[in-house]
Structure 1
Amino acid sequence: MSQSHFQELIQRTRAGDRVAENELLSKCRAYISLIARAQIEGWMRTKVDASDLVQQTLLEAHQGLEQFKGETEAEWLGWLRGILRHNTLDFARQYQGAAKRDVKREFSLDQNGANTGQSAAQKWELQDSMETPSRILLNREQEILMADAVSELPEDYQEVIMLRNLQRLSFKQVAERMNRSPGAVQMLWLRALNQLQERLEHR
């Protein structure tokens, strides 16, 4: 979706156009869902379904539209992430008294170096440990596109990408979480990235 169309949807939504509002929120569902899944730690997964966080976030966005003061896609997504972070912390405090890790980190779904001829594995490989999560997947104009493409992958591909690229777990940690060997996880991850790249190129 072009920036101009996105901004038009925001303007129409502000004017009370429910069709535009529904389109605006539905376009961001896969994006919010992927981030919600990444923000829920293992101990929370038995207590909280990511879909509950998504529903709550979109509901609060609908109810609090007048609080959004931005004009662009980046500002809209940042606003939604803020609502999601607040809800995730609320769920965490409800079940554990406090979050076990900092869920305030922002996860960005972008494509750094998307046009440099790099392979999917090279584009998505984690950089040095000082890199922030918001730079793992690249530039914000591609966040919704990336999330939509990830949501179309098989469940195990989504899981390995989420754990490796969003939660920044080591292959050993991912293997433990997915009950696979580290070698099997690396192969799964590479296949997932290659399929994701194919979907992005097709789009």
Structure 2
Amino acid sequence: MMSTVNKSADFLLARAQQGSGESLGQLLQLYTNYLRILVVSQLDGKLRQRVSPSDVVQETFFEAHRDFQQFRGKTTPEFLAWLRKILVNNLHTVVEKHVLAGKRDVRREVSAEKLGADLEKSTLRLDAFLPDPGESPSMHLQQREMQVRLANELAALPEDYRDAIVMRHLEGLPFEEIGRRMDRTAGAVRMLWLRAIKLLRERMATDDDSSGVNT
């Protein structure tokens, strides 16, 4: 069954394509947590001290609103894919401005294609929390919708729980490195992570369209 969130997104997209700027704004807000989680997964700790993930998301929303007439898709999954492309371009701009500018002497380059691939890896790590969608195209569309829901649940967790999950799963860091960043022992971080996973599982279990969280 199509979820209430997905029905809402489809309705808002249709209204936006009929010229409703208010509906477009509401549609974009549905993806705030999802895009923010992806941005966080691509910015290391030092870079996050200089760049706010929320600012990157807001810039993406601004550009999406400004350039919406260029969107040629008809479905919300196509719209989300379009948003992700804009997000990748903005991430590339951030990296060029804050990382590459100081290293031009070594001619280090980070392409938008590489950032897009890294973003896809983070998306796949999100999938590890969700049931196997199988081979059906419709199930894969549902999987993307569930990723958005998962991001919303992550955003609702206590900050230290959310940080532990993001660093462990989306950034792929070992407990020792997470402990260093959080000023805790590796053992303490592992216990924190286990509690975070338990709480996330409980929250996801309340969703009628989810059967649980895989660890």
TM range (shorter): 0.7 to 0.9
> Following TM superposition, by how much is the alpha carbon of 1:33 offset from its aligned partner in structure 2, in angstroms?
1.3
Letter in 1 for 2:131: G
Q: How does 1:114-129 map to 2 (within 5 A)?
A: none
> Following TM superposition, by how much is the alpha carbon of 1:16 offset from its aligned partner in structure 2, in angstroms?
1.0
Distance 1:145 1:151 in 2: 10
Percent of matched pairs sharing the same residue: 34
Aligned residue for 2:179?
175
1:118-137: per-residue Cα shift (whole Å, max 9, x none)? xxxxxxxxxxxxxxxxxxxx
Q: How does 1:43-122 map to 2 (within 5 A)?
A: 43-97=46-100, 98-99=109-110, 102-104=114-116, 105=118, 106=120, 107-108=122-123, 109-110=126-127, 111-113=129-131
> Following TM superposition, by how much is the alpha carbon of 1:185 offset from its aligned partner in structure 2, in angstroms?
1.1
Q: Contact 2:25–2:65 (CA<8 Å) still a contact in 1? A: no
Distance 2:194 2:205 in 1: 16
Unaligned runs of 5+ in 2: 101-108, 134-141, 208-215
Letter in 1 for 2:14: Q
Unaligned runs of 5+ in 1: 116-137
Distance 2:203 2:172 in 1: 23
Distance 1:54 1:147 in 2: 14
Q: Which has the higher helix share?
A: 2
Q: Contact 1:6–1:72 (CA<8 Å) still a contact in 2? A: no
Aligned residues: 181
Normalising to structure 1: TM-score of the pair?
Answer: 0.80
> Following TM superposition, by how much is the alpha carbon of 1:7 offset from its aligned partner in structure 2, in angstroms?
2.3
SS at 1:30's partner residue? Answer: helix
> Following TM superposition, by how much is the alpha carbon of 1:99 offset from its aligned partner in structure 2, in angstroms?
4.7
**Bigger Cα Rg:** 2
Aligned residue for 2:11?
8
Aligned residue for 1:192?
196
Distance 1:46 1:4 in 2: 37
Aligned-residue CA RMSD in angstroms? 2.3
Normalising to structure 2: TM-score of the pair?
Answer: 0.76
Letter in 2 for 1:199: R
Letter in 2 for 1:23: Q
> Following TM superposition, by how much is the alpha carbon of 1:5 offset from its aligned partner in structure 2, in angstroms?
3.6
